[in-house]
Chain A
Amino acid sequence: QVQVVQSGAEVKKPGASVKVSCKVPGYSITEFSIHWVRQAPGKGLEWMGGFDAVNSKTVYSQRLEGRVTMTEDTSTDTAYMELSSLRSDDTAVYYCILDIPFDYWGLGTLVTVSS
């Protein structure tokens, strides 16, 4: 059974960066196209970016362009989502998703931005 395992909750100050990790035990991370979606408390779902398998490149939401970076470390089979210049409205649960298609979601990582 495919599982998506994400890193634990984080508390950050405004202006800092956060890096959330995502692993799929038993699988190479390169087998999947990874996407990230976030959900602010009590709000809906927002797509942040992901791997475009057709064009073999990572695509980001323009709303977050310049602040978000999605990477993979093939030596540890880990995907990362790093968000910089954090603001209070970045407080959200961040989900890692396997695009096969969007059928496997992690449990989410709560990132709280507070001074």
Chain B
Amino acid sequence: DIVMTQTPLSLPVTPGEPASISCRSSQSLLDSDDGYTHLDWFLQKPGQSPQLLIYMGSFRASGVPDRFSGSGSGTDFTLKISRVEAEDVGVYYCMQRREFPFTFGPGTTVDLK
């Protein structure tokens, strides 16, 4: 199975400031057949179901504010929030869908300082 790791596991943030989360996979998530990187980012706000933020490494899901961006390739990926807002608190997960079984990172808890 592809192992996903995230750093940091806890991230205190200040509203208005930028923030970033790293995700690393044990194997490349690039599919040479379709040319896509199969890495998604989710945010689970307190008491809610997870919501898709970024798919295929860098594509924002519908309705996701443009302060969220995803980047990276191969085995190293980053989720960036250009200016954190109070509503961005929660747990962020990366997930690989390059191959079955899909696997998630352990999650990064983002809360306000």
Residues in A lying within 8 Å of B, measured CB to CB: 35, 37, 44-47, 49-50, 52, 59, 61-62, 95, 101-103, 105-108
Contacts and interface: CB of A to CB of B under 8 A. Distances in A.
Given A44-B107, A52-B100, A105-B51, 4 more contacts: A37-B50, A44-B91, A59-B100, A102-B42
Contacts of A62: 101
A16 to B, nearest CB: 25
Given A44-B93, A45-B93, A45-B95, A105 B50 contact: yes
A39 B42 CA distance: 14
Interface of B: 40, 42, 44, 49-52, 55-56, 61-62, 91, 93, 95, 97, 100-107
A106 B55 contact: no
Nearest to B105: A44
A106 B42 CA distance: 14
